[in-house]
Structure 1
């Protein structure tokens, strides 16, 4: 027993000498990006206020009309156009996931009118069949898929690479929705190029607000190059408002106007 006691003493002493590790600090949660579900919902509502004069973006799957902007039919939740290729891509994808759907028969016509404002081969029943397709959950999923693949995901990826927050990512998204990301001077990539010539993004050590203002300046220039987009209120009385308030996280409540109409997200 004595031996056991003597052996136990140094063990106890050594244990007491071991410093207690400091309590781990709770990890700081990363700031959400525009791809956070709650932020994405806000983005969809703001874009819908400009594209459809409504916050109810989910009611727009069935939307279709020719708005006389030279792009043929404009339709769906993000304004897919028969004249710009993204509507063709959408119907091709829909036909892959649901062969024999009501729009599949229009694929030859959509290929022919791509790049034009023509309705040849689409009228008189295309708008009716689009509305029918919009009742199909597979078509709604197809619209979501193509919106994300072509517009939303590239905008968020580039925004994160440039070091801008949720508002900046939304500014990118709204620009790519309207202008696409082609090679023409008013495309998203060239709007961004003009902005980079004026200011550095945060990823290069620049001030975020200064850079986003430069981007919006370039965006307004691009919008004014085309009569159909010459009303710049979706920038002036919406995105600029959020930026002036320093709301780089696009946090609610949000109040803005588009085409003079007021909107609110609480």
Structure 2
């Protein structure tokens, strides 16, 4: 089901993400709950597998994945759908260059910088040789570590901090916010994670830290808000492909209804209605 491109996000949602991380974290520092900020290695592994299923239809992390989905994001690649038009692909290659200055992707940094600066979906200069270089680099543990670090910095850590700030405590809650950050981004736009939280707060009449709101009820409302946004995103460019990705929200809602708040395997996930992925230890 990767052809439906469920994991892509726009330059509108993902651009300039580092500039908003301070805003996301500063409000949460005094309220952070360790249980929400840190998953056990086993729980984090499950959360990563869920994202991988939604992004690449495989619980195995696809560091080697790269494709032009013709969706306005340029090339989409790696474990989190890094995009050449939105800047996170650039950050990944730069992080790799710090570890391996002579790696095969360094030559493409000027092109990636131009694409990220302009938000251009053009793949000129990022043709077959770049694709081959990405796939070759994916066999290098240093490149995999670079992808992991960018995911942590741009997506997982901001999502976990936001979850803690509003009173979410369970591992599944963190996983839900993590997946939302991957797809919607954490920037201050109408489709980003902060906007979805704000709309959920209004609809639920509060945050899960409030005594009259259970975490389960708040998260179900959040997933409904996110689903509605995927069906009719404010960024019109995403109206082509985002509606096809509502299965990832439905799969998360199923886990929530089934009581898998601790992310304890086995877990059965069927986001697209044609293939059940069973996560085990």
Question: Above 0.5 in TM-score?
Answer: yes
Correspondence for 2:196: 191
Q: How does 1:160-175 map to 2 (within 5 A)?
A: 160-164=164-168, 165-175=170-180
Correspondence for 2:52: 48
4+ aligned runs moved over 4 Å, structure 1: 30-34
CA separation of 1:157/1:32 partners in 2, compared to 1, >3 Å: closer, same or farther? closer
- Kindly tell me the number of residue pairs found equivalent between the two proteins: 234
- In 2, the alpha carbon distance for the partners of 1:211 and 1:227 equals 29
Select which of 242, 245, 265 maps to 2:255: 242
Partner secondary structure for residue 235 of structure 1: helix
Identify unmatched segments of 5+ residues in structure 2: 1-33, 234-238
What TM-score, normalized to structure 2? Answer: 0.79
Partner secondary structure for residue 147 of structure 1: helix
**Deviation string for 1:225-257 (max 9, x for gaps)?**
222111211111x11111112322222221121
Correspondence for 2:236: none
What TM-score, normalized to structure 1? Answer: 0.83
CA separation of 1:179/1:32 partners in 2, compared to 1, >3 Å: closer, same or farther? closer
Coordinate RMSD, CA, aligned: 1.6
Select the structure of larger CA radius of gyration: 1
Quick check: 1:254–1:265 contact (8 Å CA) kept in 2? yes
Select which of 223, 226, 230 maps to 1:219: 226
Q: How does 1:74-85 map to 2 (within 5 A)?
A: 74-85=76-87
Correspondence for 1:258: 271
Greater relative CO, 1 or 2 (CA 8 Å, sep 6+)? 2
Quick check: 2:74–2:83 contact (8 Å CA) kept in 1? yes
1:207 aligns with 2:184: no
Select which of 243, 253, 264 maps to 1:230: 243
Q: In the TM superposition, what is the alpha-carbon distance from 1:184 to its structure 2 partner?
A: 2.1
Quick check: 1:35–1:156 contact (8 Å CA) kept in 2? no
Identify unmatched segments of 5+ residues in structure 1: 1-29
